Amino acid sequence: MALLLVLLIGLALGYGLARDWTPPRPGSKPRRSSLPRRQLVKPAQLQAWIEAAPVGWISLDAELRIHAINPRAEQLLKLPRAQLTRGRLLNEAVAGAELEAIARLAQAQARPQRVEWLIDSDALEAYALPGEDGWVALLLQSRRSLEAQLEQQERWVSDVAHELKTPLTALLLVGESLASQVEGRHALLVQRLQRELQRLQELVGDLLELSRLENLLPREEGRYDLVELRELVEAAWASLRPLADQRQISLALSGPSACQARGDGPRLHRALLNLLDNAVRYSPEAASVEVGLRSSGDWWLVDVRDHGVGLSDEDRSHMFERFYRGDPSRVRSQRVGSGLGLAIVQQIAVTHGGRIQGRNHPQGGAVMELVLPKGG
């Protein structure tokens, strides 16, 4: 929370300064604005706030040379007070390769990165925030209090999920019993009750899984192994085949025969299952879901395309948010999702050091692109 507070303050103040400053034209005379004069924060005040921040702050240029570092960062990294840090390369001033690794990853992917590591017996956490022209900001903090908060959050979500599972299971059994005893209009009502109870059961499971994923570190090697992406796609499709066959939807899989990635096999299976399920729900009858596997440097690109009406501007802005559901008119299936499927896919991608993004295909339909690191 402290990290977010510092970041939001910096962004808000920076935006205010940039918005209120207009460069003068050559030869023009200063003029008094008709708007009320705003009280702007001086750069010296911003610097003072950063220096006094309860989290560590380091700014790096494109060569990862330290241009600014506050006392809290020096304390967390256990740097000698007498040591001249500003102007030095990060890997020369700070022992260990963790900070340099996430800074370079943030530069390469233009996305925030997170890492956790130990200095002596102290657990630290750092965020690398990419900026313009290769600049990177590093935010650091101790994980002692964070670990307690995360454990409490996971325990709370787990407790709630398990408390809900028991009555939901009991209600499902009651629904099955009623379904065998009623007819006509009442049978339709019981079927609807069963569908809603199943949806709630899936929602509880998705919430529990999302909570677990959010507490995982990127590329947690203890859980990772070499996996074959083509086999994972085929296995995920096998789970969906009964639903796809009902609407005569087929799978068109293309790409190299060997596509090894390093990751958590069960969770990558879940990510692909969610993407394929999404594509089936938005595809018209007798269509195909196209999955393409492509190589790009050290990454595998997994494209999942449907032949529906495509993504709206609102979809592209919010589709990875929790509980977001797009325009119901786009859905060609009667099945209703929990609204957490793509949020789970995004979290799985992040924990693998990858990403997920959506776009419209030039020839129609939507494409979800999942980027994952290669194995080896």
What's residue 300's pLDDT? 94
Quickly tell me which residue has 């059994």 as its tokens: 173
Q: Which of 162, 186, 307, 352 is catalytic?
A: 162
Buried b or exposed e, range 264-294, using 16+ CB within 10 angstroms:
bbebbbbbbbbbbbbbbbbbeeebbbbbebe
Residue 193 host element (H or E): helix 185-214
Phi-psi region of 225 (alpha: psi -120 to 50; beta: other; left: phi over 0): beta
List, as own/partner pairs, every contact residues 140-148 make where C-beta atoms lie below 8 angstroms and the sequence separation is at least 24, other chains included: 140/55, 140/56, 140/57, 140/58, 140/72, 140/73, 140/76, 140/77, 141/2, 141/3, 141/54, 141/55, 141/56, 141/76, 142/76, 143/116, 147/123
CA distances from 172 to 84, 147, 175, 196 (A): 67, 37, 5, 10
pLDDT of residue 332: 59
pLDDT of residue 6: 43
Domains and CATH numbers, the chain: 42-142 (3.30.450.20), 146-214 (1.10.287.130), 221-373 (3.30.565.10)
Residue among 92, 138, 133, 135 nearest 115 (CA): 138
Confidence (pLDDT) at 21 = 43
pLDDT tens digits in sequence order for the chain, 376 residues long: 344 434 434 444 444 434 444 455 555 554 544 445 567 788 888 888 888 888 999 999 999 999 999 999 998 998 887 677 888 999 988 888 899 999 999 999 999 999 988 888 788 889 999 999 999 999 998 877 656 666 666 677 667 777 777 788 888 888 888 888 888 888 888 888 888 888 787 777 777 777 777 766 665 555 788 999 999 999 999 999 998 999 999 999 999 989 999 888 999 999 999 999 999 998 999 999 999 999 999 899 999 999 998 998 888 888 888 878 776 656 656 555 667 889 899 999 988 889 999 999 999 999 999 999 987 6
| Residue 346, CB-side half-sphere exposure with 13 Å CA sphere | 13
* 3-state class (DSSP) for residue 257: coil
For the chain, give percent helix, strand, coil, nearest 5: 50, 20, 30
Tell me how far apart the alpha carbons of residues 268 and 265 are, in angstroms, rounded to a whole number. Answer: 5
In 3-state terms, what secondary structure has residue 272? Answer: helix
Q: What is the spatial distance between Cα 315 and Cα 318, in angstroms, rounded to a whole number? A: 5
269 is catalytic: no
Nearest to 373 by CA among 349, 345, 341, 347: 349
With beta carbons less than 8 A apart as the criterion, state whether 168 and 197 touch: yes
Q: Which pLDDT does position 11 carry in this prediction? A: 41
The residue among 174, 166, 114 whose CA lies nearest residue 138 is 114
